[in-house]
Amino acid sequence: MTMLSERQQLSYIAAQAADARLNVELETEGMTLNIGPQHPATHGTLRIIARLDGEQVVWAEPVPGYMHRGYEKLTEVRTFPQVTTLINRIDWLGSFANEVPFILAAEQLMEVEAPPRAQYIRTILFELSRIANVGLFLGDLGVQMGAVTPVFLAFRDREHVLNLIEGATGGRFHPNFDRIGGLKDDLPAGWVAETRQVMKRMRMFCDELEDLLFGNEIFQSRTRNVGVIPADVAKSYGLSGANLRASGVDWDLRRDQALPMAWDKVDFKVWTHPDGDSWARCWVRLQETRESTKIVDQLLDGLPAGPVMAKVPRIIKVPAGEAWVSTENPLGEMGYYVVSKGDLGPFRVKIRSASFNNISIASWVLKGVYVPDIITILASLYFILGDIDR
């Protein structure tokens, strides 16, 4: 990896200062630029209204809601298994990971725990969703800055992970495999061996991308020192996941929370970076993807035998109460606050989605950046519209 030399850094700063002087001397009028909602660079239908002075953003505001489907209202009229079908589609890339916090919250209210084999398989599928999700992110990262090749590599290698998820659950994404009390089915024969091969492949993919994209001087100069978010601002906005760890906060819900999942049975490193700029966020995600492949390998080594479903009644009525469970999803911290009144379905579900908080910081962080940097910063914050809009 090449680092920007002192001379390069100084010349970059001098160029920005010269631009600033030029902007003061020229009488530039404000222009309002509307990015989206249909735009190839936004991960879906996000609209950003930016007021510009020349090429610099004076004020920017994201306008969400173009994918608002009313999840919280829809969960109130559905039963618990029907809700699982629906919430897959919130973060539509890391799909299995969406079901897990809701199922864990319902299990917490029912005071039932999934058998160990189910916990391991849930964790494996969770990490596979993370790899698939962040694999696409790494590909999209290039395309947002003009480098088209990584996205083909990403789609190609992501297919292997999707084949695995499809082999186990029946769906490429939106598996709808988690059930209150365990899983729908056991793993098919030969799945474990194939997963090991795919994990080797994904590690190669991470190395390839690190060399191709992260080692590229243009990528580095476009992402370093762009969109710096200090740790206290990040926490007050509720930034989570790799965004928070890239600002130096050492917090990972897999390690720091006791949940009935198998993360406490494996060793993994939590990657942080002190800088808090776009480069740090992208870099932390790359390291985490590689770490996920190692987690999956360890889990496969320790996979216990046994049933995959606990004894739960056929028609599930969750006892009255309130529960909050959140997990370290690919996008950040995703949690469900489930209020139940003892019915077949929940009374109220508050869905805390990671991208909602991640993008709420956009109006703070986009002040004073150049227009191409808007795309870079949003790409590095990484959001999925279904996660913002629910």
Partner 1 sequence: MDAADAPAALPGDALREGVVERLRADLGAGLIDSHLVPQTDLWVRVSTEAWADAAASLKAQGFDYFCFLSALDWMPSPYGKGEDDPTVEKEPLSTEVVPGVTGGDTRFQVFARVTDVRRHFGVTVKADVPDTLEMPSWIPSFAGANWHERETHEMFGITFAGHPDLRNLYLPGEFEGYPLRKDFPLLSRMIKPWPGIVDVEPMPDAAEEEDGTAEATPEEGGAA
Partner 2 sequence: MGLVDRGRLPAPLTKLFNIGRSYSMWVYQWGLACCAIEMGAAFASPRYDVMRLGVIPLPASPRQADFVVVSGTVTDKMAPAVKRLYEQMPEPKYVISMGSCANCGGPYWDSYSVTKGVDQIIPVDIYVPGCPPRPEALLEGVVLLQQRIRHEDMAAKWRGEEYQPLVKNADAGREPVVVGGGPIE
Name the residues that contact partner 1, by CB under 8 A.
64-65, 68, 70, 72-74, 76-79, 81-82, 108, 179, 231-233, 235-238, 244, 248-251, 255-258, 272, 274, 314-316, 320-324, 326, 333, 335, 337, 339, 341, 344-345, 347-348, 350, 352, 356-357, 360-361, 364, 389
What is the rounded CA–CA span in Å between residue 239 and residue 332? Answer: 8
| Sheet strands (E) in the chain | 30-35, 47-53, 56-63, 178-179, 182-183, 321-329, 332-340, 348-352
37 binds partner 2 per the rule CB under 8 A:
yes
69 binds partner 2 per the rule CB under 8 A:
yes
385 binds partner 2 per the rule CB under 8 A:
yes
Which one of partner 1, partner 2, none is in contact with 305 (Cβ closer than 5 to 8 A by kind)? none
Interface pick for partner 2 out of 136, 180, 331, 354 (rule CB under 8 A): 136
End-to-end CA distance of the chain: 39
Contacting range for partner 2; rule: CB under 8 A; set: 63-71, 98-106, 262-270, 331-339: 63-71
Interface pick for partner 2 out of 11, 16, 32, 85 (rule CB under 8 A): 85
Min dist. Cβ of residue 166 to partner 1 (A) = 20
What is the rounded CA–CA span in Å between residue 116 and residue 119? Answer: 5
Which one of partner 1, partner 2, none is in contact with 44 (Cβ closer than 5 to 8 A by kind)? partner 2
19 binds partner 2 per the rule CB under 8 A:
no
348 binds partner 2 per the rule CB under 8 A:
no
Min dist. Cβ of residue 157 to partner 1 (A) = 30
Question: Which residues have C-beta within 8 Å of that of residue 7, sequence separation ≥ 6?
Answer: none
Question: Which residues have C-beta within 8 Å of that of residue 343, sequence separation ≥ 6?
Answer: 317, 318
What is the rounded CA–CA span in Å between residue 294 and residue 127? Answer: 10
Which one of partner 1, partner 2, none is in contact with 39 (Cβ closer than 5 to 8 A by kind)? none
Question: Which residues have C-beta within 8 Å of that of residue 15, sequence separation ≥ 6?
Answer: none
3-class SS of residue 30: strand
Interface pick for partner 2 out of 152, 201, 269, 343 (rule CB under 8 A): 152
Min dist. Cβ of residue 138 to partner 1 (A) = 23
What is the rounded CA–CA span in Å between residue 99 and residue 200? Answer: 27
In the β-sheet with 56-63, what is the strand arrangement from edge to edge?
A: 30-35, 47-53, 56-63
Which C-beta is closer to partner 1: that of 13 or that of 320?
A: 320
Which C-beta is closer to partner 1: that of 65 or that of 304?
A: 65
What b/e readout covers 104-141, taking b as 16+ CB neighbours within 10 angstroms? bbbbbbbebebbbbbbbbbbbbbbbbbbbbbbbbbbbb
CB 309 within 8 A of CB 182: yes
Min dist. Cβ of residue 136 to partner 2 (A) = 7
CB 195 within 8 A of CB 164: yes
Residues forming the site for partner 2 (CB under 8 A): 37-38, 40, 44-45, 65-70, 73-74, 77, 85-86, 89, 92-93, 136, 151-152, 155-156, 159, 172-174, 385-386
